[in-house]
Amino acid sequence: MLSIRELYIHYITDEGIVKAVNGVSFDVQEGETVGLVGETGAGKTTTALGVMRLVPNPPGRIISGDILLNGESLLGLTEAQMRKIRGEKIAMIFQDPMTSLNPVLTVGDQIAEVVRFHNKKTSRADAFKKAAEMLGTVGIDPDRMDEYPHQFSGGMKQRVGIAIALTCNPGLLIADEPTTALDVTIQAQVLNLMVKLKKEFNTSMLLITHDLGVVADVCDKVAIMYAGEIVEFGAVPDVYRNTGHPYTIGLFGSIPDVKKKVKRLSPIQGLMPDPVDLPAGCSFEPRCQVATAECKTLKPRVGEISPGHMVKCTHHWREANHGHSS
Amino acid sequence: MGRYIFKRVLYMIPVLLGVMLIIFTMLYLTPGDPVRMMLGDDADEAAIAQLRSELGLDEPYLAQFINYVKKIVMKLDFGVSYVTGRPVIEEIMSRYPTTLILATVSTLVAIAMAIPLGILSAIYQNSWIDNISRIVALVGVSMPNFWQGLLMILLFSVNLKWFPASGFTTPAHWILPALTIGTSGAAAIMRTTRSSMLEVIRQDYVRTARAKGAPEGIVIWKHALRNALIPVLTIVGIRFGASLAGSIVSEQVFSIPGLGKLMVDSIRNRNYPVIQGGVLLIALAYSIINLIVDILYAFVDPRIKSQYSAKKRVKYAGKEGQGSVG
């Protein structure tokens, strides 16, 4: 389905080159849900925008690598060809429903126009009929077609966002922290709706989040992103039960345990490195508990610690390639 | 919406009464006796007293003011010009169409130049189009009208003989003054359009439109421009309102018999009734333009409209696919 190969995306600014995405590779298979997890600034959204080829340029630029959709390279397409992909083959749900709908257009219009972008012959009336149907599908009364976004609550707006994304029945849905801006009770509703519709529409999904709990509930595979790199990738049970990368271990360690009484949470010490000035060796080395001298200089390589479970860490790579079991 | 407009028209009454009060009071406090001025220095006291009571000038301040307002409201009687002896209303109305035409044409010229340039400048930010537009705008805003007018007369009337140099009888006469007034307005409108557009094209909903596969034209015209229009409307309204007061400099340069020229002449001759009437008319024109701009806001932005009118839900006819989820 979607295959990202050695993708590099940089923002070229006056203050320096912000290396947002550095050699990201992973696949999303047909029908699969892949979670992309990482802290703020790890490059998750930039990766997603890269797939849509919507990285704001200037200052952003896809430096190298490739993005393949069903074997076809998206980076080689013209802008006009790419427009046919956006919204029809790959659709995106954005983080903040408050700002991602156009305030001066009715929600009906905003859904209906997607139909007409991708099927020029569809009449206005048919497009609006489809829009009404989509509103119904996401649980909004189709009578509210002619209302404007400000007349909807946050959760409702995100439902409209989902309706827009699914209108053309895309093969791949990219959801960029779709529930982060919503309140907790609504988060679960919206997430359940997405999972349900994903099955109904038979789409693959790339779910960007920083919530490991959501990933465990929803995703088949998970990619852990740190400083623009995928540091660990694998099936959810593998990554959760047989965690490899020290960063992932730290992430799980920082989740408070409801059964234990602790005075303080145990965060990962330190901060993510400045993407303008990344460490020469492993990006995680300054915060890593198990770092050795060579981590300072040696770029880590990807080791497969069990089938399909990749970890980008020098120690694991050595173990994997020298037959020591982990 | 209708109720809102009606309410706004009612609000204009206190504004205009306030203007009348201020002009009337200023005139009342101005030194000099109008009756003595009319009859001359050697008139006898009995004649002066008689005329004074005929004109109502012996009554107290408040009574005189009420009388003044009454005459305007009931009979559109603004008094008589000291210079020509004709009613002020006639004097002003013989000039006003000229000013109205000049204001309208020059504003249209300004809009036609400024909005497309502003949009292009924003879309191609920091490109040569943007740089040239910004330089032109800078020149336009810094060049004094009288100088620009003279240069235009020199080029288009004296050398090329394309347009007449003075007067305001045929549409050919409109062009040079409208261009002169229009360019200075255009500079301000262009800069506002550019900055507003720049802000809007970075909004999330513009990214959403692109993510749907919208062609660039639709992204700009449908999604961005309407949102960017509010500050542009404001500045166009202000410019138009100001030019309805007459453009004193340009009218002088092109010898146009407009309101600006009438006002300047009247001020020079201490022709108080004409000044009073003129100021009142200018205030009225400003109020009306303001009202129109406010109404246009509501048409551009449904969020503003919903503040004005009671919530009204329009039912959508098609009710297909009304599944409820979540």
| Three-class secondary structure assignment of B173-207 | HHHHHHHHHHHHHHHHHHHHHHHHHHHHCCCHHHH
Q: Are A212 and A34 in contact (CB under 8 A)?
A: no
Considering only the beta carbons, identify the residue of A56, A85, A138 that sits closest to B325. A138
C-alpha span between A57 and B205 (Å, rounded): 17
Domain containing B165: what range?
93-317
- Token pair, residue B99, equals 């000013």
In angstroms, the CA A276 to CA B66 distance is 74
pLDDT digits (tens, 9 = 90+) for B113-168: 999 999 999 988 888 989 998 898 888 888 888 888 889 888 988 888 888 877 77
What is the token pair recorded at A186? 């609504």
Q: Which residue in A has a C-alpha nearest to residue B324's C-alpha?
A: A139
> Out of A85, A91, A132, whose CB is closest to B316?
A132
Asked whether residue B83 carries a pLDDT value surpassing 80, the answer given is no
Q: What is the pLDDT of residues B96-119, one digit of tens each?
A: 888 889 999 999 999 999 999 999
From the list A3, A108, A48, A260, the residue with the least C-alpha distance to B318 is A108
Q: In 3-state terms, what secondary structure has residue A60?
A: strand
E strand intervals along chain A: 2-13, 16-28, 33-37, 60-69, 72-73, 90-93, 172-176, 204-209, 221-226, 229-235, 302-306, 309-312
How much is the pLDDT for B310?
53
Predicted pLDDT of residue A161: 93
Mutant choice from B204, B312, B316 vs A, greatest count of A C-beta within 10 A: B316
Cβ–Cβ below 8 Å for B321 and A52: no
Containing A63, the helix (H) or strand (E) segment is strand A60-69
Cβ of A142 within 8 Å of Cβ of B215? The answer is: no
Give the side-chain half-sphere CA count within 13 A for B206.
Answer: 20
CB-CB neighbors (< 8 A) of A144 in chain B: 313, 316
Q: Is the pLDDT of residue A324 over 70?
A: no
Asked if residue B99 lies in contact with residue B259, where contact means CB atoms within 8 angstroms, the answer is yes
Higher pLDDT: B155 or B82? It is B155
pLDDT for the residue B249:
84
User: Which residue is closest to A129 within chain B, CA to CA?
Assistant: B318
B306 touches chain A (CB under 8 A): yes
B227 to chain A, any CB pair closer than 8 A? The answer is: yes
The 3-state DSSP class for residue A212 equals helix
Q: How far is A3 from chain B (nearest CA, A)?
A: 19
Nearest of B137, B146, B155 to residue B177 by alpha carbon: B146
Give yes or no for residue B54 having a pLDDT over 80. Answer: no
Residue whose token pair is 């919204």: A87
Residue A11's beta-bridge partner residues?
A: A18, A60
Burial A142-157 (b: 16+ CB within 10 A, else e): bbbbebbbebbeebbb
Nearest-Cα distance to chain A for B131, in Å, is 17
Contact A103 B301 (CB under 8 A): yes
Strands (E), A171-322: 172-176, 204-209, 221-226, 229-235, 302-306, 309-312
pLDDT on residue B319: 40
With contact defined as beta carbons under 8 Å apart, do A7 and A47 qualify? Answer: yes
Q: A288 with A282: CB under 8 angstroms?
A: yes
CA gap A290, A293 in Å, rounded: 10
Predicted local confidence at residue B322, as pLDDT: 40
Which amino acid, A303?
Answer: G
Strands (E), A148-218: 172-176, 204-209
pLDDT digits (tens, 9 = 90+) for A115-141: 999 888 888 999 999 999 999 989 899
Identify which of A91, A117, A197 has the shortest CB distance to residue B214.
A117
Which chain A residues are Cβ-neighbours of B203 within 8 angstroms?
A: 99
B140 vs A318, more confident = B140
Of A153-157, A216-220, B169-173, B284-288, the range with the lowest mean pLDDT is: B169-173
Residue B307 covered by a domain: yes
Q: Is the pLDDT of residue B66 over 80?
A: yes
Q: Does B29 touch chain A (CB under 8 A)?
A: no
**Structural contact between residues B140 and B184, judged by C-beta atoms closer than 8 angstroms:** yes
Measured at the CA of A258, the angle between CA A254 and CA A264, to 5 degrees, comes to 45
For every residue of B102-155, DSSP letters joined together read: HHHHHHHHHHHHHHHHHHHHHHTTTSHHHHHHHHHHHHHHHS-HHHHHHHHIII
Average pLDDT of A91-98? Answer: 91
Asked if the structure places residue B198 within a domain, the reply is yes
Query: In the prediction, which pLDDT does B295 show?
Result: 87
**Cα of A259 to nearest chain B Cα, Å:** 31
Contact A86 B302 (CB under 8 A): no
Domains contained in chain B, number: 1
What the block records as the tokens of A276 is 């303008």
A268 and A251 in contact (C-beta within 8 Å)?
Answer: yes
In a domain, B161, yes or no: yes
Amino acid letter, residue A190: V
Q: Give the Cα separation of B199 and B224 in Å (integer).
A: 9
CA-wise closest residue to A300 among A278, A321, A316: A316
ipTM of the complex: 0.87
CA gap A135, A163 in Å, rounded: 6
**Contact (Cβ atoms closer than 8 angstroms) between residue A210 and residue A38:** yes
The tokens describing A242, both together, are 């047989």
Residue A116's closest chain B neighbor by CA?
A: B214
pLDDT tens, position by position, B194-244: 999 999 998 999 999 999 999 999 999 999 999 999 899 999 998 898 888
Using CB atoms, pick whichever of B303, B314, B323 lies closest to residue A137. B323
Q: In chain A, what residues touch B227 (CB-CB under 8 Å)?
A: 102-104
pLDDT confidence band for B276 (50 / 70 / 90) = confident
CATH of the domain at B265: 1.10.3720.10
**What's the gap in Å between the CA of A22 and the closest CA on chain B?**
23
**Contact status of B205 with chain A (Cβ, < 8 Å):** yes
Q: What is the pLDDT of residue B149?
A: 87
In this prediction, residues B51-69 reach a mean pLDDT of: 83
Distance from CA of A114 to the nearest CA of B (A): 6
Residue B293 contacts residue B234 (beta carbons within 8 Å) = yes
Residue B294 lies in a domain: yes
Calculate how close chain B gets to A122, using CA atoms only, in Å. Answer: 15
- In whole angstroms, give the CA distance from residue A193 to residue A163: 11
Amino acid at A206: L
Asked whether the beta carbons of residue B323 and residue A94 sit closer than 8 angstroms, the reply is: no
Strand A60-69: give its sheet, edge to edge: A16-28, A2-13, A60-69, A72-73
**For B10, left (φ over 0), alpha (ψ -120 to 50), or beta?**
alpha
Residue B1 in any domain: the answer is: no
Give the model's confidence band at B309: pLDDT under 50 very low, under 70 low, under 90 confident, else very high. Answer: low
Residue B314's pLDDT is 47
Residue B129: inside a domain: yes
Q: What H or E segment, with its residue span, contains residue B232?
A: helix B226-244
In angstroms, the CA A68 to CA A76 distance is 10
Can you count the helices (H) and strands (E) in chain A?
11, 12
Instruction: Cis check for the bond before A56: say yes or no (omega within 30 of 0).
Output: no
- What is the nearest CA distance from A19 to chain B, expressed in angstroms? 21
Return the DSSP state at A308: T
Element (H, E) at B8: helix B2-29
**What chain B residue is nearest to A87 in terms of C-alpha separation?**
B212
- Dump pLDDT digits (tens) for A144-196: 999 999 999 988 999 999 999 999 989 999 999 988 888 888 888 888 898 98
Q: How far apart are CA B251 and CA B234, in angstroms?
A: 25
CB contact under 8 A, A164 and B306: no
Pairing of strands A221-226, A33-37: parallel
Residue B318 has pLDDT above 70, yes or no: no
A–B: how many Cβ contacts below 8 A?
A: 128
Counted residue by residue, chain B has a size of: 326
| B70 within a domain of the structure (yes/no) | no
How far is A276 from chain B, CA to nearest CA, in Å?
23
In a domain, residue B251? The reply is: yes
Q: Minimal Cα distance from A165: which residue of B?
A: B212
Q: Cα dihedral angle (A128, A131, A133, A136), rounded to 10 degrees?
A: -130
Mean of the per-residue pLDDT values of chain B: 84
Among A100, A88, A97, A131, CA closest to A113 = A131
Answer yes or no: is pLDDT of B87 > 70.
Answer: yes
CA–CA separation, A132 and B317 (whole Å):
10
- Which tokens belong to B148? 């620009």
Indicate the residue of A92, A96, A189 with minimum beta-carbon distance to B211: A92
Structure tokens at A315: 């120690």
Do the beta carbons of residue A174 and residue A93 sit within 8 Å?
Answer: yes
Nearest to B24 by CA among B54, B67, B55: B67
Residue B316, pLDDT score: 45
Asked if the Cβ–Cβ distance from A87 to B227 is below 8 Å, we say no
